[in-house]
Structure 1
Amino acid sequence: MHMPELKSEPTPVSLRKIVAIFRRERGLSLQQVADGAKIDRSYVHRLESGDRASPGVRVVQALDDFYEADGLVVGAWLLEQEGLYRDRYARFKAAEARATIQHKYMLAIPGLLQTEAYARAVLSADPMVTEDDVDRLVVERMERKEILHRQPSPHVRVILDEVALLRRPSDLAVWREQLRHLTEAAQMPAIVLQLLPVTEGVHDLMGGSLTLLWADDGTAVAYVEGNKHGQLIDDPDEVGALRLSYDGVRDKALSPTATLEKLRHLLEESE
């Protein structure tokens, strides 16, 4: 079967061309494709138009199966999503570097509060990341931490889900160092650290981590992050709604003083 030529680094345009060429080569209308793939016609239109809010992988897989594309459509879509994630994350890091106030709810210990050894252990857990990639990512993560030492330093409030302290690296020395670092960070003037106990039950942010960033001009953005994907949000209404969710989680968290006591207790237990 003839396959459309695909560039080595697909973009939303190349994905659009792939699905459009498959359809036109068969002389099919949008509705005929939708009927054959058992999906809504609007999904086909959105993919062919290069809509950044394109349908999810289920729809893309249905088109791949319908066209008998042997994974070409799905592969191009996945590469597109990876590119979008990199772009969003780059924008997030730029916003983070400019922010004067940061409020975070984290399911894992945030990169800003990780030691080098702990960061290496976390990054090495990804089977798709090479050793060279780990080295590069660790350097990048440590460089990001310089934000905490600039003058004036940003005000950072971190609500850390207790589950992050239950997933420990196999090297106990690495874990002790990380706990010690968290304990020291919790005592820094510009950092407020609060643990959210697992006993507090369900809440509105269980689906992922959230970072709220305020610039010195008062503008705010939010970054919502799941497993290997993230979304940068600048709509004031959406950011406001996420701030309310954050406030609800903060109300359930331990006080900074109780959090520090908990960390000290965990550190003593590890030694």
Structure 2
Amino acid sequence: MPPRRVITGRSQEPRRRYAEEVRLLRTERGLTLKKLAEVVGWDPSLFGKLESGATMGSPEVAQALDRHYGTPGLLLALWELAVGDPTQFKEQYRRYMLLESEAVSLWHYAVSAPPGLLQTDGYVREALTAGGARGNVLEQQVDARTGRRKLLEGPAAPPFRVILFEAVLRNSLREQGAWREQLSYLAEAAERPNVTLHVLPFGRGLHGLTNTDTMFLRLLDGRTVAYAENDVRGELVEETSRVERLQLAYDSMRDLALTPAESRSFILRMLEEVPCEPST
């Protein structure tokens, strides 16, 4: 059988292909991001993130672009393929990812690993390898996960608050250089104006989220949703009363944590404990 020809020369990876098509349709019509936003709605920064692959946006955005460009169903179909791509994220996490990309503010409690938005390439690669990912699948998943960091970059980045349990800073990587890079990245992120980072040291007592990674998102419509996850399952929580209970637990835990300045100093002390790799 002869090899399949690539007709368009564009990416065959669904997420990247969606970004390419969104960008191509705009540039072919000579539109700026600002002009597109004026006509279609939403903020220009959202369309910039769509074109860079930093976010997938929502199906409503894909439909609005299809209507504007006269491409009925094209972008929505590409969006569905990208979101459903099995090389991206677990099924129960996909809706959370879509909401995360459009959240106006985020906050997170991390039990044993840095939050995905603050993981370095080295951390992601070792974590995925430990989970059994190999070859092209590994590379695709690394790209997908590290691309999430772009959400917190740039002047339009949303505010992000995170509480790291001390175990996050003690559960080091096998490669010392990669672990130093991860700790350094956390210390650097703690200095950004849109990031507030707390460390919850050992010995501060029990609290309501002891074994559960929990993420909160404030959405454009004013709602807050939560995503609670452990080693075996994750759940998107949208019921107001349940979200409020999780929020109260988070607030109580924040009262037990170090201040942002103390937390950054704590991370820098941990960084000093990591042996430097010998020069070759």
Q: Please classify the TM superposition score into its range, dividing by the shorter chain length.
A: 0.5 to 0.7
Of 103, 110, 121, which aligns to 1:99? 103
Q: Could you say which residue in structure 2 is the equivalent of 1:79?
A: none
Q: Deviations over 1:149-196 (max 9, x none)?
A: 254211000001110111111111011111111110010100001011
Of 89, 101, 125, which aligns to 2:130? 125
Asked whether the 8 Å contact 1:103–1:213 carries over to 2, the reply is yes
Shift of 1:226: 0.7
Matched residue SS, 2:203: helix
Computing the radius of gyration over CA atoms, which structure comes out larger, 1 or 2? 1
Of 171, 174, 180, which aligns to 1:176? 180
Identity of aligned residues (%): 35
Matched residue SS, 2:261: helix
Write the letter of the residue equivalent to 1:206: T
Asked whether the 8 Å contact 1:124–1:131 carries over to 2, the reply is no
The two structures have a TM-score, normalised by structure 2, of: 0.64
2:167 is the alignment partner of 1:189: no
Shift of 1:231: 0.3
CA distance in structure 2 between the aligned counterparts of 1:245 and 1:132, rounded to whole angstroms = 40
Q: Could you say which residue in structure 2 is the equivalent of 1:254?
A: 258
CA distance in structure 1 between the aligned counterparts of 2:153 and 2:181, rounded to whole angstroms = 20
Shift of 1:86: 3.3
Q: Could you say which residue in structure 1 is the equivalent of 2:72?
A: none
CA distance in structure 2 between the aligned counterparts of 1:202 and 1:131, rounded to whole angstroms = 41
CA distance in structure 1 between the aligned counterparts of 2:180 and 2:154, rounded to whole angstroms = 27
Q: Deviations over 1:27-56 (max 9, x none)?
A: xxxxxxxxxxxxxxxxxxxxxxxxxxxxxx
Q: Could you say which residue in structure 2 is the equivalent of 1:166?
A: 170
After the TM superposition, list the runs of 4 or more consecutive aligned residues in structure 1 that deviate by more than 3 angstroms.
none
Write the letter of the residue equivalent to 1:191: V
Q: Deviations over 1:136-161 (max 9, x none)?
A: 21111111111112542110000011
Write the letter of the residue equivalent to 2:115: P
CA distance in structure 1 between the aligned counterparts of 2:253 and 2:127, rounded to whole angstroms = 25
Q: Could you say which residue in structure 2 is the equivalent of 1:238?
A: 242
Asked whether the 8 Å contact 2:107–2:216 carries over to 1, the reply is yes
Q: Could you say which residue in structure 2 is the equivalent of 1:218?
A: 222
In the alignment, structure 1 segments of 5+ residues that lack a partner are 1-81
2:108 is the alignment partner of 1:143: no
CA distance in structure 1 between the aligned counterparts of 2:232 and 2:121, rounded to whole angstroms = 21
Write the letter of the residue equivalent to 1:105: Y
Please give the root-mean-square deviation of Cα atoms over the aligned residues, in Å: 1.6
CA distance in structure 2 between the aligned counterparts of 1:150 and 1:221, rounded to whole angstroms = 24
2:160 is the alignment partner of 1:156: yes
Q: Could you say which residue in structure 2 is the equivalent of 1:227?
A: 231
The two structures have a TM-score, normalised by structure 1, of: 0.66
1:74-89 equivalences under 5 Å are 86-89=90-93
Asked whether the 8 Å contact 2:169–2:270 carries over to 1, the reply is no
**How many residue pairs are counted as aligned between the two chains?**
187
Write the letter of the residue equivalent to 2:140: R
Shift of 1:248: 1.1
Write the letter of the residue equivalent to 1:159: I
